[in-house]
């Protein structure tokens, strides 16, 4: 067993638990049968002393083991097949000059339109049309942000069939007008104020539409630098006396959640991110939900990882309470502003109830 991995309890527990994974991190081989399998193989579990672990099927075969006829470790699993199918569809959408129809995407995948749409949404959290719309908007932002050509040219180069179709939802999706996107947000006025709370320094910032950032940090310099990075070309105004008066309410809300947060929000993100954030805001104060539960609530049960990424992309701490999202075992996973702060916020909310 020249090519075998070092045996560990973690690998063995994965075998005992028949760990499911689209891309197996390892294979296990059984000396008494000469067969190697996926961790999720339905066959009877062997005795541990007869098991060796391999990083790849080729390494297992190099040591003389043959592929299991039950789990077919050299074939794509159903999850791998789905991932490959959805990946090809995404590439087709991204590379197409015009948005492909649902029928075209389904035909390429070999599925019916209904089955394809359901499979695509389960894997990505959004419909093919929503994915295409988000991709076109990203292409527009990239093109117009480079400064090459006019806004009209960028609209058509991004794949829009007409300027009217683009302008229908452009400002909402971009968070500002197309002209301001071209200027990198230059000239957009954002008021901000910084205060001290039980979690350290807290910064709240608002655009004309509402609160666009609520940041936590160890020092005032840290949160102000964070704001500058998020809005590098905006006109940041920190000396407005009327706005500074709001910071007391924000600090009171962070320190004692029972006061609630009543300021309007300027929430900017993809369609999927906004669905996640909306679901998170529905989690009652003092309670938690897992990433997989949020994925279920938004109708995308296989998108737990994407839910975690949406939590990480949240700019508005506490008011969009991604601190209430935890692992399936109830443990506190990573938090953009630190796991210790996540724990402290949850404890404060539970005491307030």
- Active-site residues: which are they? 37, 322
Question: Residue 228, exposed/middle/buried by CB under 10 A (0-12, 13-18, 19+)?
Answer: exposed
Question: What span, in angstroms and rounded, lies between the C-alpha atoms of 88 and 106?
Answer: 11
* CA pseudo-torsion sign 71, 72, 78, 84: positive
CB atoms within 10 A of CB 329: 7
Q: Report which of 189, 218, 188 is spatially closest to residue 203, judged by C-alpha positions.
A: 218
Q: Which residues lie closer than 8 Å to 333 by C-beta, 6 or more apart? A: 291, 308, 326, 327, 339
Question: What span, in angstroms and rounded, lies between the C-alpha atoms of 103 and 88?
Answer: 15
The SS3 of residue 44 is coil
Q: What are the E-state strand segments in the chain?
A: 27-30, 35-37, 51-54, 66-67, 189-197, 200-206, 211-217, 235-237, 289-290, 325-326
Read out DSSP for 237-280?
E---HHHHTTHHHHHHHHH-GGG---S-B-----HHHHHHHHHH
Question: What span, in angstroms and rounded, lies between the C-alpha atoms of 332 and 131?
Answer: 30
Return the axis-axis angle of helices 113-124 and 78-95, rounded to nearest 10°: 100
């Amino acid at each position: 067993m020249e090519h075998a991995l070092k045996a560990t309890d973690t690998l063995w527990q994965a075998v005992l638990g028949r760990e499911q994974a689209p891309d197996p991190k390892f294979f296990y081989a059984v000396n008494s049968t000469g067969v190697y399998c996926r961790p999720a193989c339905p066959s009877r579990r062997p005795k541990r002393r007869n098991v060796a672990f391999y990083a790849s099927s080729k390494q297992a075969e190099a040591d003389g083991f043959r592929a299991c006829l039950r789990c077919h470790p050299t074939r794509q699993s159903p999850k791998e097949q789905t991932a490959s199918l959805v990946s090809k569809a995404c590439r087709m959408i991204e590379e197409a000059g015009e948005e492909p129809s649902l029928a075209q995407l389904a035909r390429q995948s070999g599925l019916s339109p209904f089955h394809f749409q359901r499979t695509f949404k389960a894997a990505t959290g959004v419909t093919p049309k929503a994915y295409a719309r988000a991709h076109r908007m990203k292409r527009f932002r990239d093109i117009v942000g480079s400064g090459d050509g006019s806004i009209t040219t960028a609209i058509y180069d991004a794949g829009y069939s007409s300027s009217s179709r683009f302008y229908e939802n452009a400002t909402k999706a971009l968070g500002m007008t197309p002209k301001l996107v071209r200027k990198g947000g230059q000239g957009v006025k954002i008021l901000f104020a910084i205060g001290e709370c039980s979690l350290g320094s807290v910064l709240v910032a608002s655009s004309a539409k509402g609160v666009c950032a609520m940041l936590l940090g160890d020092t005032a310099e840290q949160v102000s630098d964070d704001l500058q990075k998020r809005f590098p070309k905006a006109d940041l105004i920190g000396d407005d006396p009327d706005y500074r008066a709001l910071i007391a309410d924000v600090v009171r809300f962070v320190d004692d959640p029972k006061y609630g947060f009543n300021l309007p929000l300027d929430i900017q993100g993809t369609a999927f991110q906004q669905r996640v954030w909306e679901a998170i805001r529905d989690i009652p104060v003092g309670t938690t939900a897992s990433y997989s539960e949020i994925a279920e609530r938004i109708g995308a049960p296989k998108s737990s990882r994407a839910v975690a990424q949406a939590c990480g992309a949240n700019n508005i701490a506490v008011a969009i309470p991604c601190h209430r999202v935890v692992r399936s075992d109830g443990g506190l996973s990573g938090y953009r502003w630190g796991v210790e702060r996540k724990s402290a916020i949850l404890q404060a909310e539970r005491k307030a109830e």
